[in-house]
Amino acid sequence: MARVALTGASGQLGRVLRPALLARGIALRSAGGRTPLEPLTPEEEVCHGDLRDPAVVDAALRGVDILIHMAGTSVERPLPEIIENNLVGLQAVYEGARRHGVRRVVFASSNHAIGMHDVGTKLDSDCDFRPDGFYGLSKMWGEGLARLYWDKHGIESVCVRIGSALERPTEPRHLSTWFGHDDLVRFLLRCIETPAVGFLVAWGVSNNARSYWKPTACEPLGYVPLQDSEDYAAEILAHPDPLEPVARRYQGGSFAAHDLTVAPR
Ligand code: 15L
């Protein structure tokens, strides 16, 4: 059975993933950030620390086959912070994967790597990068790093461009971007179980009728999303859209509208 490490284990998605993966019998080591973690079950291994430190990475990855890398800054922040957490930290993790013979990394990329695309365009995963801020730009860089470590070091990666990973959608944009928690777990189980993936970029999204993204990229994984934001549409559309009008023009929503100088073309 594959031994799996999860970074960002105390983050928003980590808190969903730990119990879900353990419940499915995954041999899990959970890596938190500053604060020590308490094992959720006798089988769960835990560790914590700053992933820019190779010793911390070693503790997280020793004996691991597959890494689910969820750690890092997950919103728009000043560039120096993004560089430290999402570039320096990510490279340290991939180097650790190389040292420890980790065969696959699931890299939490983001829709914000392509967030400046217009909401009227339906995208394949090989679309142009159009980052909507420094955070999105760091995810574009991360996908490039993942490619580098596949081409040069044979470490497989699934770069999952996560949409809006929430228990339920709450606003009109989510009708296109929602990634339900059950689908997130389904997706990651396919990332763990699929025999060979090579280098893959896939959308992390549910089966939303109004999705911005074509489901084709997920075919090699055999991931079949079962949740659909449309179930919540009537309720959501009965309320005012919290996004300002300019944010509604871009797939990245408010991230795209933040610090925007030009009017949409
Ligand atoms: C992300 O990448 C963020 O981490 C999350 O906070 C949400 O903003 C999400 O994208 C989204 O686009 O809804």
Rounded to the nearest angstrom, the distance between the alpha carbon of 164 and the centre of ligand 1 is 5
Q: With residue 134 as reference, give the H or E element that holds it.
A: helix 134-153
Residue to probe by mutation, ligand 1, list 69, 162, 176, 178, most atoms within 8 Å of CB = 162
C-alpha dihedral (240, 246, 250, 255), degrees to nearest 10: -90
**How big, in percent rounded to 5, are the helix, strand and coil portions of the chain?**
40, 20, 40
Q: Alpha carbon of 63 to those of 29, 59, 243, 263: distances in Å?
A: 10, 9, 45, 51
Which residues of the chain are modeled with pLDDT < 50?
none
What is the per-residue pLDDT for 265? 60
Nearest CA to ligand 1 atom 2: 110
pLDDT of 202: 97
Q: Is 250 a catalytic residue?
A: no
Is any atom of ligand 1 closer than 6 Å to the C-beta of 206? no
Compute the distance from residue 70 Cα to the ligand 1 centre, in Å: 13
Task: Answer yes or no: are the C-beta atoms of 207 and 227 closer than 8 Å.
Answer: yes
CA 75 to ligand 1 centroid distance, Å = 7
Say how far residue 36 (Cα) sits from the centre of its chain. 23
Query: Among residues 94, 135, 149, 250, which one is catalytic?
Result: 135
Q: What distance in angstroms lies between residue 42's CA and the mean position of ligand 1's atoms? A: 33
Establish whether residue 109 lines the binding site of ligand 1, counting it when its CB lies within 6 angstroms of any ligand atom. no
